[in-house]
Structure 1
Amino acid sequence: MADKIDRFFIDYFSGKLSKLLNLRKMELQAKAVDDNVNASKSTTLTRGAEFQLIREQGDSETAFIAKELQYMDVFLSTLSSEQQELLTLRYDRRNRLTWSEVAYRFCKSERQCIRQVRDMKDEFEECYWSQMVGNTGAQLEKTNGVMAG
């Protein structure tokens, strides 16, 4: 379970989930353009935005990724700024910091940082992960498969 949460944190803090959501919205927008090829210009302009919004709200993949982002945002709002920074430094793969580098930035030992992150992961698992998996376990596995690839 901890590996899945680690993977989720990496995807969130590295911006991968946001990119997946934007990519999915772009895919839906491209489908909307394809669907409106034979429509008149006035119909396309007035209904295009409405159909796009309906398409995004009705898409299960878009809704799932948005829900994941929402759960994470709520979780982060419960943490102190130092805890948020600790998670960001550890899980943002654009920076690739080791535990010793993270610990150095906080003037703490590696063990302290590891313990704090473990406690935050446990809290996330207890409060949020079970809801995410419970509501859409199959979708989570599908999304994690896409993210891992």
Structure 2
Amino acid sequence: MSDRIDKLLTDYYSGVVEMEIAMRKADLKFPVTRDENIGGGKPVNKQSRSLDDILIREDEDTVLNELTAITRRYERLKTLISTFTPEYNQIASLRYNRRRGKHTWVHISLLLHLDEKTCRARLSELKKAISDKNNLF
């Protein structure tokens, strides 16, 4: 269970899902089409509505729908984290944000002027509160 919470927090603080959503939308904007109609005729009465086609592709894409569901889960996580003090959020951000690099517990304790055990205890309290909320998984 702890591994799932660690992955959830790492993805949340690192912005992985937002990046995946942006990449998937870019993939859907420029689809790779292969014309296998060699020597055949082209449709005469076809109207081109590129914006409508893009919106339909985004609405029907299962991968994008799963990523938006994960985004809703992160919104609930953000609401839960906002109930804690900013110190808890800062400890979790320093520990799980991979864009800034992985900080050790010693480095986190020096940055926040706290004891290493205190930092670990506060992060475990945050993780326990997340695990108590079963609607996040």
After TM superposition, the score normalised by the length of structure 1 is 0.69
1:125 maps to 131
1:86 maps to 91
> Size of the alignment, in residue pairs?
125
CA distance in 2, matches of 1:103, 1:2: 22
- Report which of the two has the higher share of helix: 1
1:16 is the counterpart of 2:16: yes
Superposed CA RMSD in Å reads 2.6
1:40 maps to 47
Cα-to-partner distance string for 1:81-136 (whole Å, 9 max, x where unaligned): 22211110111123211000001111111000000000000001112xx2133xxx
CA distance in 2, matches of 1:58, 1:110: 40
Identity of aligned residues (%): 22
After TM superposition, the score normalised by the length of structure 2 is 0.74
CA distance in 2, matches of 1:125, 1:26: 34
CA distance in 1, matches of 2:77, 2:21: 14
Deviant stretches of 4+, over 4 Å: 56-59
Q: Can you give the 5+ residue segments of structure 1 that lack an aligned partner in the other structure?
A: 134-149
CA radius of gyration, larger in: 2
Whether the 8 Å contact between 2:73 and 2:136 is mirrored in structure 1 is yes
Q: Can you give the 5+ residue segments of structure 2 that lack an aligned partner in the other structure?
A: 34-42
Which residue identity lines up with residue 83 of structure 1 in the other structure?
Answer: Y
Q: 1:59 to 1:2 in 2, by over 3 A?
A: same
1:103 is the counterpart of 2:106: no
Alpha-carbon deviation of 1:75? 1.9
Alpha-carbon deviation of 1:50? 4.3
